[in-house]
Amino acid sequence: MEKVLVLDFGGQYDQLIARRVRELGVYAEIIAYNRITPQEIASAGYAGVILTGGPNSVYDPTSPHFDPTLLTLGIPVLGICYGCQLLAWMAGGTVQSAGAVSEYGKVTFTAGKSAIFGGIPKQSVCWMSHTDYISTPPQSFSVVAVTENCPCAAIADEQRKLYGVQFHPEVTHTAYGKQILHNFIFSVCGCAGTWTAERFTASAIERYKRELAGKNVLCALSGGVDSSVAAVLLHRAVGDRLTCVFVDHGFLRKDEGDLVEKMFRERFQIPIRRVNAKQRFLTALRGVTEPEQKRKIIGREFIRVFEEEAAKIGHVHVLVQGTIYPDVVESGKGDAATIKSHHNVGGLPDVIRFDEIAEPLRDLFKDEVRAVGLELGIPSDMVWRQPFPGPGLAIRMIGEITEEKLSILQEADAIFRDEIVAAGLEKEANQYFAVLTNTKTVGVMGDARTYGYTVALRAVSTDDFMTADWSRLPYDVLAKASGRITAEVQGVSRVVYDITSKPPATVEWE
Ligand code: XMP
């Protein structure tokens, strides 16, 4: 299969670069610079290599470097930001601090003639973020773009198909960034663009038909998009040898558990074993208020319920996991601090006896998982559901979890989501939900005093959920949601809107 390597030097845009390449129809994979050698790159058959940005200075001997043999393999290379400086450094150019003329944000650049600049105007806007720059390009290279303060905004050795851009073509602020990546992928690397959800789906089904012939397969459904897509895909391959266990902890959004069950049973005729374990979870969480405690108890209880159910099934050959590509990339880095212990079905392999794991989505980004879901016939409103944390509403309810608070939160959340959809804003905010604070305040309704909960509304826009900005929702949408929540949900006397970005806050409140 045609593929491009994104060689990661610690930049924050590695996943974005890979996604942009995949949007062009070419499979891209991310590998850290110290986990692959030029020989391995050569034998893996990559059509091209993209060197990512990174926070270091190439002239610092402790910064990440790469064996210059890479430049002799005959494989096209595109260096971005730090990757551009590294390319110059490897080929014998000089890089130095840009000092007072460091560039941040939108900058106009003037492009010369180069294969990577085909079809773009002579002058356009790019996104810069650098404190070093190339002061002398390597001998065989020519300068193919400049900005007012950057003498080598892009360099090229057209003969050897080696290119570097100081700016970031992967971010949308670079006006012709997509065209530049397109030029590199198609004109320079000669890719054909064969990576589509349709082909991926067909070949995954064929592969699992072969590999899982005669085997019993078990899938833990969480109710979310990833595990649903993984289950439907596997069902196409193994039919009724697939058993789906849906542990409903009771903290799903209003009606969500029923919708998931209905979709599996009626639309796909996939029998699922739904375990309604709400009371069990409520009991286990009684009196617990500390967020990490809540997460741990839910994770533990989820596994216990699943384990008990799996014991009734008999021998399982294969356990399906809904791992997706960002999980794979993140766990490969291994240096992130634990801010929250994310609960998915990741703990299952330790407790279920099985022979192998199938991870049908491990090569896919979230938007690709959605595309595969649509390809499999999952309705678009199910596929386009926003991300939802494993512990569900339990971590959107501050303080102790009670049945009364759960039902208030489910109703308030459903109204807010309704209003966002009614206003056509569901793709504008990437995640939006209600939180039930533990604060009661005084209100007045009719002529009577009320004393009810404060509901907080949260909506964020983000590319990757690592950072997020609060959404500037129109006041009238907020007003409508607030009016409906206080009028329709008993026990709520006040509604507030969360205007904190991540960082310093996180998306979820707990
Ligand atoms: P935070 O709150 O960490 O959330 O800024 C970032 C994204 O992760 C989701 N999230 C979770 N997803 N299991 C999940 O699968 C979890 O335990 C979990 N906690 C947070 C959150 O909804 C947001 O999209």
In tens, the pLDDT along 131-148 reads 999 999 999 999 999 999
One domain, residues 145 and 48: yes
Of the ranges 247-251, 309-313, 352-356, the best mean pLDDT one: 247-251
Which three-class secondary structure state does DSSP give residue 238? helix
Q: Is residue 249 part of a domain?
A: yes
One domain, residues 157 and 224: no
Q: Which of the residues 2, 81, 368, 411 is marked catalytic?
A: 81
**Structure confidence at residue 490 as a pLDDT band (50, 70, 90):** very high
Q: Which atom of ligand 1 is nearest to the CA of 388?
A: 22
- Mean pLDDT calculated for residue range 38-65: 97
Rounded CA-CA distance 57/418 in Å is 49
Q: Is residue 200 part of a domain?
A: no
Q: Is residue 193 part of a domain?
A: no
One domain, residues 406 and 371: no
84: Cα within 13 Å, side-chain hemisphere: 29
Is 426 annotated in the active site? no
Is 168 annotated in the active site? yes
**Structure confidence at residue 336 as a pLDDT band (50, 70, 90):** very low
One domain, residues 151 and 240: no
Q: Which two tokens stand for residue 305?
A: 């319920």
One domain, residues 19 and 120: yes
Residue 340 beta carbon below 6 angstroms from any ligand 1 atom: yes
Residue 464 beta carbon below 6 angstroms from any ligand 1 atom: no
Residue 29 beta carbon below 6 angstroms from any ligand 1 atom: no
Of 324, 352, 383, the one marking the end of a domain is 383
Is 170 annotated in the active site? yes
Q: Which of 155, 161, 157 minimizes the C-alpha distance to 143?
A: 155
pLDDT at position 272, please? 94
Q: Is residue 418 part of a domain?
A: yes
Burial of 363 (0-12, 13-18, 19+ CB in 10 A): middle
431-445 and 448-461 as β-strands: parallel, antiparallel, unpaired? antiparallel
Rounded CA-CA distance 310/228 in Å is 18
One domain, residues 179 and 313: no
One domain, residues 378 and 313: yes
Q: Is residue 75 part of a domain?
A: yes
Q: Is residue 205 part of a domain?
A: no
Q: Is residue 505 part of a domain?
A: no
| Kind plus residue range of the DSSP H or E element containing 230 | helix 225-238
Q: How many domains does the chain have?
A: 3
Structural domain range at position 438: 402-497
Q: Is residue 506 part of a domain?
A: no
The rounded Å distance from CA 199 to ligand 1 centre is 30
Q: Which of the residues 2, 103, 170, 301 is marked catalytic?
A: 170
| pLDDT tens per residue, range 417-463 | 999 999 999 888 999 999 999 999 999 998 999 999 999 999 999 87
One domain, residues 430 and 328: no
- Mean pLDDT calculated for residue range 387-399: 95
One domain, residues 139 and 285: no
One domain, residues 18 and 153: yes
One domain, residues 301 and 341: yes
Instruction: Tell me: pLDDT of 401 over 90.
Output: yes
Q: Domain with 439 in it: what CATH number?
A: 3.30.300.10
Q: Domain with 65 in it: what CATH number?
A: 3.40.50.880
Q: Which of 51, 57, 67 minimizes the C-alpha distance to 165?
A: 51
Q: Domain with 327 in it: what CATH number?
A: 3.40.50.620
The rounded Å distance from CA 344 to ligand 1 centre is 10
Q: Which of the residues 168, 235, 249, 343 is marked catalytic?
A: 168
One domain, residues 163 and 230: no
